[in-house]
Structure 1
Amino acid sequence: MTALWTSQDAQAATGGESTQEWQASGLSIDTRTLQKGDLFVAIKDVRDGHDFVAQALEKGAAAALVTHLPEGVSPDAPLLIVPDVLGALEDLARAARARTAAKVIAVTGSVGKTSTKEMLRVVLAHQGRVHAAEASYNNHWGVPLTLARMPVDTDFAIIEIGMSHPGEIAPLAKIAAPNVAMITNVAAAHLEAFDDISGIAHEKAAIFSGLVHGGTAIINVDLETSKILWDATPEKKVGFGTDSSADFFLEEVKLSDNVTVISATLNGEPALFKLSTAGRHFAMNAIGVLACVKAVGADIGLAACDLAQWRPPLGRGTRETIYLDRYAAEVSLELIDDAFNANPTSLAAALEVLAAAKPRNDVGRVRIGRRMAILGDMLELGDDAIEQHRKIATLESVAQIDKIHCVGPMMRALFDEIPDQKRGLWVATSQELVAKTKDLIDAGDVILVKGSKGSKTALVVDAIRKLGHPAPTLE
């Protein structure tokens, strides 16, 4: 077992006291996913992690990080006792950051954080040892957990930082101490917690407060709030976007059924490359990713080629074929699963992808393949949420969509605004639509499912998947 943390190192980092010597090969906050040899961190979140220490040790945890001896645990069990578990986890994160020579890239933004993190993981994997969280661990415990899990010999670390309220980003950015910090965009997400979008911009810009001296800020120059971002740091700034003055200039994007072809000028050099998925928003993120690659001294040409290997993470534009007949591959539909989250910016991007998709005719009972959107409420948009839902009807891409089904009270505003021939069903909850799913869809369709997580449109995604069969095989 390679030790990620020894009891001596962890004590030095946290100021805690170990009951005995131990070595841990990883960290865990969840007994369901804990691996033998992990240090179990008894975080208090929805549940108090101290209630699960005995179980963690039974499953093979090397030790547990606790504030006291938990009930049912022997006094001679391997424990690291500290005054505050979350504070100690942050201490481990700082120590892990300090002991590595890794180039750290921090990413935030209203949309696209996880997709950008995963792009960076893919393109840097051929150029060094990459460390990044396996999920969207971007909050007050997720960021320090990701850093504390970082091996000493990491070459590149990618840290996703999120927020839902003011004051959340700066402390996490300072723990991460990034060499490069990127803001994907600033949009009307979590607007209920801010006075206006400029407040969101200031909060996002707080990521730059963590930059190491001489670090680089990667900034989207196409935003109405770009100046706020640009003025937020004295460190080196690199702009990306569709403005020709940008250091990383996105010249042209061509969307086809499942490919994005990108023409760009990257730091003065012309480039042509592709993504193996459709999306103008993905193209913009890719340009920012290449700016990050350049900033950490990696090979930008190799990275541009490797972008074709990236696929959207589950629930964020993932595209898959659902086979409706176990024997005939052509009796199938295309599902675009974008049900993890939604705001007006990300919904507009997703609808553009759907508009570029190519349904297939003569394979289903309807005979004509359709572009179909199943849209749930966009949450946390503030006082004008209803109007923001209604304005979706004015997007050019809506003209290319054959049928729109709406879920939730706010989506009623969009439903009432779209032309009669495009209206499918309106229901108050995703659960109501699940029972009707089989009758709504057909072979040949391309179906986008999108909504804020709280609208539970993921239930509709699951219902569509359950109608499928394994891919037919040729004998």
Structure 2
Amino acid sequence: MLKLSLSELIQITGGKTGNSPIFCKDIQGLSTDSRNILPGQCFLAIKGEKYDGHNFILDAIQKDASAIIANESYPVASGIPIPVIQVPQTLDALEKIALHHYKQFPLLCIAITGSVGKTTTKHLACSILSNRFGVLKSPKSFNNSLGVSLTLLELESIHKVLVMELGANAPGEIAHLTKMIKPDIGLITCVAPCHLEGFHSLSGVEQAKSEILLGMGEESVFITNADDCACQRILSKFPGKTVTFSLEKTSDFHAQNIRKEKDGIAFKMNGEEYFSPLPGLHNLYNLLASMAIATQAGMTPEEIKDSLSSLQLPAMRMEVKQSGGITVINDAYNANPKSMTAALEYLEQFPSTRKIAVLGSMLELGKESHHYHALIGKEAAAKNLDFLFAIGKEAKDIAIGAKESGMPEDKIFFYDDNINIEKELLPLLKQGDVVLLKASRRIKLEELVSKIIC
């Protein structure tokens, strides 16, 4: 837990006290959420898209906060009994505090980025590593500056390995994060069309993902996908040790003799037989990446193999639920063209009487949105679906693409949002049906699960 004196906090942040406090206590942790702040913690006010933390400073004081960190522009009211430290930007101050705390712990730092699978790979790697080490991982998709800083503040002496997910919507964001944490092991899962509003092109995505190398030295290890041409170009730029994984090309972690079995996938790698309980061939890439991380962290093949049987995916990633003879595949956490294709391939191979795809908009694709949504529609038409539901303004192109590719019009439905889809979907369902839910996060297709699975 973060423990600082007031003078240390001022020195680290470069801030100035904006009032004459009555009480000056040591800092026992930090919070950016006034609803959850604990007595003795410092409250750091952040101005976000929806809320401004400065509006909740008095709430934090009433909950016995030990100090306040606010922007210079915040007018400090008279009579505030605890120190108010004013800084140019509170998010920058948060980073400085988090970095100071991070430097107190000698540990192995692992950073993961990529267009698809970074959260799943982080989750799997931590599951394997935790069989030997005390592991701290960034929760959910805490992969921006705020999320990374808050994760670093959770470090304690029991942690020997830190696993971070690095995300970005625009150039330079991963560079900033990797220079901040300086990973000992860096990994790129793949490079694919995503966040094109910020990156503008696939080459822009590749350049952004390659920024992870900027925080890594020759003593670091870079792990990446040997089946991905962009990843191989990035690998060629790194002067240190490199490790690769693949399903197709030769690599250090090359899954071969892949067999789909009832409860997962069996494969052979480096002369050893392995079994993955995870659904979908695309998750085998995530597993191989995780195994490569664990190996570089010092775990033995036996330790890694023993940990595989208990692996599970994070919520809303190929999450299968059944009731009344109907199966729902909830893969609605997020979507881009590559992950959408993988989900359709999994649906195609899933044993069922009928197959129904509910596909929502893939957001942040910029000027390429029309092209990629139409392409998914074409792919959906080729999967012999019984019904296709397209949800969201952008997803109209999925419906159009499917129709133009020969899917019967009476099997295609389009809705602007997911509010009224149940009126058409639910009466269609029969025993033996499987329903895939896949869309970008803001479409909230997971809300349909409870309506389908009663």
- Asked if Structure 1 and Structure 2 have the same fold, meaning a TM-score greater than 0.5 normalized by the shorter chain, the answer is yes
- Give yes or no for the alignment of 1:388 onto 2:375: no
> Where does residue 4 of structure 2 map in the other structure?
6
Q: Distance in 1 between matches of 2:230 and 2:114?
A: 12
> Where does residue 295 of structure 1 map in the other structure?
296
Q: Distance in 1 between matches of 2:311 and 2:64?
A: 35
Of residues 40, 45, 50, the one that matches 2:43 is 40
1:93-131 alpha-carbon deviations (Å, 9 max, x no partner): 222222111101001000111111111221111211111
Q: Distance in 2 between matches of 1:112 and 1:301?
A: 25
Of residues 438, 441, 447, the one that matches 1:462 is 447
Give the letter aligned to residue 353 of structure 1: Y
Give the SS at the match of 2:316: coil
Correspondence list, 1:232-271, <5 A: 232-256=237-261, 258-265=263-270, 270-271=271-272
> Where does residue 411 of structure 1 map in the other structure?
398
Percent of aligned pairs with the same residue?
28
> Where does residue 272 of structure 1 map in the other structure?
273
Q: Is the 8 A contact 2:390 2:396 kept in 1?
A: no
Q: Is the 8 A contact 2:257 2:268 kept in 1?
A: yes
Q: Distance in 1 between matches of 2:288 and 2:245?
A: 7
1:145-203 alpha-carbon deviations (Å, 9 max, x no partner): 21232224421111111011111110111111110010011001112333431221111
1:450-474 alpha-carbon deviations (Å, 9 max, x no partner): 01224x1x2x4313314544xxxxx
> Where does residue 371 of structure 1 map in the other structure?
355
Q: Is the 8 A contact 1:201 1:228 kept in 2?
A: no
Moved more, 185-194 or 72-81: 72-81
Of residues 169, 172, 195, the one that matches 1:167 is 172
- Give yes or no for the alignment of 1:450 onto 2:438: yes
Q: Distance in 1 between matches of 2:236 and 2:98?
A: 29
Give the SS at the match of 1:131: strand
> Where does residue 59 of structure 2 map in the other structure?
55
> Where does residue 64 of structure 1 map in the other structure?
68
Q: Is the 8 A contact 1:374 1:406 kept in 2?
A: yes
Q: Distance in 2 between matches of 1:295 and 1:70?
A: 51
Q: Distance in 1 between matches of 2:167 and 2:410?
A: 36
Residues 468, 399 of structure 1: alpha-carbon distance in 2 compared, 3 angstrom cutoff? closer
1:62-113 alpha-carbon deviations (Å, 9 max, x no partner): 5433235766785322544433211111112222222111101001000111
Give the letter aligned to residue 334 of structure 1: T
Residues 467, 397 of structure 1: alpha-carbon distance in 2 compared, 3 angstrom cutoff? closer
Residues 464, 297 of structure 1: alpha-carbon distance in 2 compared, 3 angstrom cutoff? closer
Cα distance, 1:287 vs structure 2: 0.6
With structure 1 as the length reference, what TM-score do the two structures score?
A: 0.85
Q: How many residues matched? A: 442
Residues 91, 357 of structure 1: alpha-carbon distance in 2 compared, 3 angstrom cutoff? same
Of residues 99, 111, 115, the one that matches 2:116 is 111
Q: Distance in 2 between matches of 1:15 and 1:134?
A: 29
1:243-285 alpha-carbon deviations (Å, 9 max, x no partner): 44311112243334552333323xxxx3332333311111101
Cα distance, 1:140 vs structure 2: 2.4
Q: Distance in 1 between matches of 2:236 and 2:412?
A: 46
CA RMSD of aligned residues (A): 2.7
Correspondence list, 1:15-414, <5 A: 15-16=14-15, 20-25=24-29, 27-35=30-38, 38-46=41-49, 47-67=51-71, 74-77=79-82, 79-256=84-261, 258-265=263-270, 270-321=271-322, 323=323, 331-359=324-352, 369-393=353-377, 395=379, 398-399=382-383, 401-407=385-391, 408-414=395-401
Residues 125, 82 of structure 1: alpha-carbon distance in 2 compared, 3 angstrom cutoff? same
Mark the runs of 5 or more structure 2 residues left unpaired by the alignment: none
Residues 383, 84 of structure 1: alpha-carbon distance in 2 compared, 3 angstrom cutoff? closer
Moved more, 218-227 or 38-47: 38-47
Give the SS at the match of 1:447: strand
Give the SS at the match of 2:344: helix
Give the SS at the match of 1:320: strand
Residues 232, 43 of structure 1: alpha-carbon distance in 2 compared, 3 angstrom cutoff? farther
